[in-house]
Amino acid sequence: MLTAIVDYESGNLHSAQKAFERVARETGAGEVVVTSDPDMVRRADRVVLPGDGAFPACRRELFDHRGLFEAIEEVVIARAHPFLGICIGMQMMATRGLEYEETPGFDWIGGDVVRIMPQGAHMKVPHMGWNDLVIDAPHPLLDGIATGEHAYFVHSFQFRVADPAHLLAHVDYGGPVTAIVGRDTMVGTQFHPEKSQATGLRLIANFLAWTP
């Protein structure tokens, strides 16, 4: 079993790599590789797409790596293997992003990435730090994870899904803010599971064991 964490120079992947390798080692979930090689991605049984920074810049970086998105799409869409998007990697699953400029997303899950507009002057943007998950729908990646468990967020924009059925979890930050989206074999987390301690490690383990 091979899990590919896609490296398209979108940020420091060290903590994600270590978390996935640790869980894979502890659960016998096979090999984890960090790669920017489209051929390696095509060999993968599951794909993880992280991302830090602004939506337009991350999308440009991904598509500047020739053939990389096409390899991801082949594995995830054509072959329906499990996919996990993290932070901007999750946001790029949307129809479009509205950060700085309108930018097309993958359109895997309908919706827009919009600025967080919390109610209350004391609520700062970016939304940064720990917040309590509210589970909206059951999913195999959420096995053993309950409403009230903590996850670590750093973001100023959120994925507003077009179909409420694709919203798996949210948090309250001066109003609802999307935390997890999902459809078919694809899931995305706005928070960083690799930085979310026990909750994040459980989600990673569930992803590595997921056989939809």
Length of the chain: 212
pLDDT at 120: 77
Residue whose structure tokens are 């790599």: 17
Mean pLDDT calculated for residue range 96-102: 94
Q: Does the structure show a pLDDT above 90 at 10?
A: no
- Predicted local distance difference test score (pLDDT) of residue 12: 76
Q: Give the model's pLDDT for residue 122.
A: 82
- What are the pLDDT digits (tens) for 61-72? 999 999 999 999
Whether 87 is a known active-site residue: answer: yes
Helices 14-27 and 197-209 pack at an angle, to 10 degrees, of: 60
Residue of 58, 81, 87, 170 marked active site: 87
Residue 88 CB-half CA count within 13 A: 22
Q: So what's the pLDDT on residue 133?
A: 98
Query: pLDDT confidence of 74, banded at 50, 70, 90?
Result: very high
Percent of the chain with pLDDT over 70: 100
- Taking 80 as the threshold, does the pLDDT of residue 91 lie above it? yes
What does the pLDDT look like over 137-146, one tens digit per residue?
999 999 999 9
Query: Does 58 qualify as catalytic in the annotation?
Result: no
> Which residue reads 């992803």 in tokens?
207
Write down the catalytic residue from 58, 149, 155, 194: 194
DSSP labels for 26-70? HHT--EEEEE--HHHHHH-SEEEE---S-HHHHHHHHHHSTTHHH
CA angle, corner 131, sides to 205 and 93, nearest 5?
60
Catalytic hit among 155, 166, 170, 192:
192
Would you call 194 a catalytic residue per the annotation?
yes
